Structure 1
Amino acid sequence: MRKYWCGVASKEHVQIGYNEGFCQLCHGKNYPLERMNVGDWIIYYSPVYKYKSDEKFQKFTAIGEIVGKNVYSFEMFPGFTPYRRDVKYYSCSNVSIHDLLNDLDFTKGILKWGYKFRYGHFELSEHDFKLISYNMLGINILNEE
């Protein structure tokens, strides 16, 4: 059964994964990646543009399909070896969450909607995935009959 995920990272960090075809979550932890399967989808939300910045960005910034069967470690620099999973990303537009707050299952009617993102990774409903992905891509990516 296909699942839909939301990852949280700065836009600059998402761009690295997009350029190199991988996802990395929760500061390189393996457990969120192990919950995913080939054929699942991930959408990234970027609360900020630059890591450790106070300047808000608050946009969905990347969308892709999990294609890597395995979670693997990769030494980015000495002392930091995060876990990754391969992703096929699609060219998309950045979409402000503010345009979707009243329509997403996980934010509708919730005053402190940003709290959910503090976990760094969570499962999206199919409804939310379809809504966000359509706004990012302008098409229904799931190609349903």
Structure 2
Amino acid sequence: MKTTTRAIKYFLIVASKDHVRKGIELSIAQACHGKVAPLKRMKAGDRVVYYSSKIKMEESGKANSCQMFTAIGTVKSDDKPYQVVMSEDFKPWRVNVEFEKNVKELSVHSVLDQLEFITNKKNWGMAFRFGFKEISESDFLVIENGMLN
């Protein structure tokens, strides 16, 4: 019987910095307000990076602006999404992630010109509008190197 090994994939998730911090505490990833579809694309060993456009989800304005890559990690071996009940109306899906420790946040502006997934450098924020996307290994490594060094 032939077994195939799937190549590692690299994912970008957009979430406010306060939500990313909670995810790090719980060693979990959530995407797109708790939707399951994005998480079903992730498998054990896949890498994930979080981008935070703002500090707190409920606030707006320049004082709440973040524009940083805020966390980086690896999907754990128990890679199946699972649902939790936060309230009667909110039952988000999650996947377990082991986050890198001792990383520094990285300004998107410092790597903007090096990232292939940002095709329009003038309107770069459009690249983050869907909240979840697969990115290339080279883009992931640019971000990872900036966060770990």
- TM-score in terms of structure 1 length: 0.91
Residue in 2 that maps onto 1:103: 114
Amino acid at match of 1:63: I
Q: 1:97 offset after TM fit, Å?
A: 0.2
Q: Which residue of 92, 110, 123 corresponds with 1:112?
A: 123
Deviates more, 1:92-101 or 1:67-76: 67-76
Aligned residue for 1:93?
104
Counterpart in the other structure of 1:23: 29
Q: Secondary structure at the residue paired with 1:133? A: helix
* Code of the aligned partner of 1:31: A
TM-score using structure 2 length: 0.89
The answer as to whether partners of 1:102 and 1:108 remain within 8 angstroms in 2 is no
Q: Following the alignment from structure 2 to structure 1, what is the Cα–Cα distance between the partners of residues 119 and 108?
A: 11
Equivalents in 1 of 2:120, 2:29: separation in Å? 30
Which of the pair has more CA radius of gyration?
A: 2
Structure 2: state its 5+ residue gaps: 1-6
Amino acid at match of 2:113: N
CA offset digits 1:58-81 (Å, max 9, x no partner): 000000000132110011223211
Work out the percentage of aligned pairs sharing the same amino acid: 39
How do 1:1-145 residues align onto structure 2 when only pairs under 5 Å count?
Answer: 1-54=7-60, 55-67=64-76, 68-91=78-101, 92-107=103-118, 110-138=121-149
